[in-house]
Amino acid sequence: MFVTRKAEFSASHVCRISGLSETQNRELYGEGANPNGHGHNFVLEVTVEGEPDSVTGMVMDLKQLKDVIEEEVVAPMDHRFLNFEVPPFTRVIPTTENVAREIWRRLAARLKTSAVRLAKVRLFETADLYVDVTGRDVSA
């Protein structure tokens, strides 16, 4: 069974590669390449998979999941300029793909010992663009 919890954070970022020309950056990132940055209300959906506990009837204590999301994502990223304030984006371009992957890694690390499996991270940059990250077992 899958359970999804939502969260939101607002942050600014800029997507550009310093070695490329303005035209090349615009071709890759569009307006997102504006050197001084811009911001979004990012909407995050975190999905975990597990079976409901026979005693509590819950897949996971969602307060616990909320706390993990708060600590790993919202507190460090909300109202921040990702490129300047949130590692690894001081050296990794904070595209939606990379932000979603970073969130996946942070949450996967925290949920590793939990009874549930992190199934999906969906990050909306705007209402018209979202990125899904799902896991795979590459050792299998």
Partner 1 sequence: MNAESVMVTRIYRFSASHRLDSPHLSVSENQQLYGKCNNPFGHGHDYVLEVSATGEVDTRTGLVLPSAQLDRLVEERVLKLFAFRNINLDVPQFASCVPTTENIARVIGELLQQHWNTYLGETQARLYRVHVRETGRNGFEILLGKRPNTSNHESGIVSIHA
Interacting residues toward partner 1 by CB under 8 A: 15, 17, 27-30, 92-98, 100-101, 104-105, 108, 127-139
CA distance 124 to 8: 9
Please write down the long-range contacts of 102-108, taking CB distance under 8 Å and 24 or more positions apart. 103/44, 103/72, 103/73, 103/133, 104/133, 104/135, 106/72, 106/73, 107/46, 107/68, 107/69, 107/72, 107/73, 108/135
Residue among 10 and 126 whose Cβ is closer to partner 1: 126
Min dist CB 40 to partner 1, Å, is 14
Residue among 60 and 121 whose Cβ is closer to partner 1: 121
Min dist CB 22 to partner 1, Å, is 15
- Structure tokens that stand for 96 in this block: 């939606």
Instruction: Write the single-letter amino acid at 38.
Output: H
Min dist CB 34 to partner 1, Å, is 14
Residue among 46 and 96 whose Cβ is closer to partner 1: 96
Residue among 87 and 135 whose Cβ is closer to partner 1: 135
